[in-house]
Amino acid sequence: MADPAPDLPEAANRRFASGAFTSGLTVPDFAACLQMGLEPVGYVQGFCVMQWGWYGVNSPYRRGLSPYGGGQGGYMESWQCPHGFVSAEHRSWGQNYQQSWVEEAWGQGFGSAYSRMLEEAEALGAHGVVGVVDTSDRLGDLGVLEFHVRGTAVKVDDAPGPPGGQPWTTYLAGQRLAKLVEAGYMPVSVAASVSSVRVWAYCMTEYLLEGTNSSWGVAQAGAEITQVASAQMAARQIARERVRSQMAGDSLHGAEMAVSDRELGAGDQEIQCVLRGNRVRRFKDFDPMPVPHPTVKLS
């Protein structure tokens, strides 16, 4: 085991030095890991509680000055009112834009928790971390999120340590990891990213979402709510591109996308998309399998 890490909690260092290993693996996954030559050395985890403030004078983004975004780079689309009149109650202009400060704060929180998990793994002299689970939960106030990343640190029998000393990581464990390796892929790291898109609705979006696009009391036919549809597509595309930018030529396998939206006012909403997956690298040319033989179970 490596020297105790100076910035880990004392209890973590005591736990690592106890001589017994811990793991989050089920018994079948534990057996499968041993079969692959992976020796569990300890259950490792990292935490981070993040608060991000993007409005107000202390915000580095100086967002309190205007409700409209843009100017921060990234995705932005604008819509103009088709009615041609100006009124204090008529939203003559709308915008979708990427909230990069939310994405960076999430990335900082996840990255901190992830790197702390790796720190624990390195303290154990691990080569990799399998069965990674990451969660983010709200803690009390709006804008405060706890990131928790954990997994089982393993050593590979008769193999050199990872390049640069940083363990490889994967969401997979046991049989699924064995199948991945047998198929010719090596896990490099878990990949996760978030995208946040803000919708400031213009008049047509507001009317269509409220069903009030009538003329002189006569309901008009429905129409596609293009502003929100564009924002929803953009949130997913941005998350995918952000994760892809982490790949450096590797592939994302077993991806999982979770999208949530929060209504902030009449027609206004914030859309968040979290994309997770395993970054994998092909280490051998693919040898196509014969077509699987269909079977019927008799019990």
Partner 1 sequence: MTSENRLGAAAREPVDIKAEMRRAVDALHSQTHKKDSMTSDLSIDEELNLHAIGWEPVELVCGVSLYSVPMGVWNWGQGEITWASAAYAHAFEGAIARIHRECSKAGGHGVVGVQVERSIHRHHIDVTLLGTAVRPVGAKRVDAAQVFVSDLSARDFTLLQVSGWQPLGLAVGASFVYAPRRSLGTAMQQKSQNVELTNFTEAMYTARESAMERMQSSALGMAGTGVVEVKVTEGPMDFARHAVGFAAWGTVVRLAGDSHRTLQPSMVVPLDDAVPAFEATALRGK
Interacting positions 263-292 with partner 1 (CB under 8 A) = 275, 277, 281-284, 286-292
> What is the smallest separation between the CB atom of 294 and partner 1, expressed in angstroms?
4
CB under 8 Å to 242, separation ≥6 — which residues? 103, 193, 194, 195, 275
> Which among 239, 225, 246, 226 is positioned nearest to 271, based on CA atoms?
239
- Does 185 bind partner 1 (CB under 8 A)? Our answer is yes
Q: How many residues bind partner 1 (CB under 8 A)?
A: 91
Which of 138, 210, 262, 266 is in the footprint of partner 1 by CB under 8 A? 210
Nearer to partner 1, 101 or 190 (CB): 190
- Does 212 bind partner 1 (CB under 8 A)? Our answer is yes
Nearest-angstrom CA–CA distance, 21 and 5: 17
Q: Which one of 15-23, 55-63, 75-83, 161-169 is the stretch in contact with partner 1 (CB under 8 A)?
A: 161-169
Amino acid identity for residue 172 in this structure: L
Nearer to partner 1, 69 or 128 (CB): 128
On whether the CB atoms of residues 212 and 220 are closer than 8 A, the answer is: no
Tokens of residue 46, six digits:
């990292």
- Does 171 bind partner 1 (CB under 8 A)? Our answer is yes
Q: Would you give the DSSP letter of residue 175?
A: H
Residue 172 to residues 129, 154, 199, 204, 299, Cα–Cα distance (Å): 9, 13, 36, 46, 29
- Does 297 bind partner 1 (CB under 8 A)? Our answer is yes
> Which among 281, 231, 279 is positioned nearest to 255, based on CA atoms?
279
Sites for partner 1 among residues 111-130 (CB under 8 A)? 127
- Does 216 bind partner 1 (CB under 8 A)? Our answer is no
Tokens of residue 201, six digits:
């609705």
Which of 193, 232, 269, 272 is in the footprint of partner 1 by CB under 8 A? 232
E strand or H helix at 185: strand 185-200
> What is the smallest separation between the CB atom of 282 and partner 1, expressed in angstroms?
4
Nearest-angstrom CA–CA distance, 272 and 102: 9
> What is the smallest separation between the CB atom of 19 and partner 1, expressed in angstroms?
25
> Which among 153, 107, 104 is positioned nearest to 129, based on CA atoms?
153
Q: Which one of 14-22, 48-56, 65-73, 226-234 is the stretch in contact with partner 1 (CB under 8 A)?
A: 226-234
Nearer to partner 1, 101 or 232 (CB): 232
Dihedral angle at the C-alpha atoms of 105, 107, 110, 111, nearest 10 degrees? -120
Nearer to partner 1, 61 or 273 (CB): 273
Nearer to partner 1, 12 or 172 (CB): 172
- Looking up tokens 């009317």 gives 207
> What is the smallest separation between the CB atom of 100 and partner 1, expressed in angstroms?
21
Q: Under the phi-then-psi rule, with left for phi > 0, alpha for psi from -120 to 50, and beta for the rest, what region is 131?
A: left
- Does 176 bind partner 1 (CB under 8 A)? Our answer is yes
Sites for partner 1 among residues 52-71 (CB under 8 A)? none
Which of 4, 18, 26, 262 is in the footprint of partner 1 by CB under 8 A? 26
Nearer to partner 1, 101 or 109 (CB): 109
> What is the smallest separation between the CB atom of 115 and partner 1, expressed in angstroms?
18
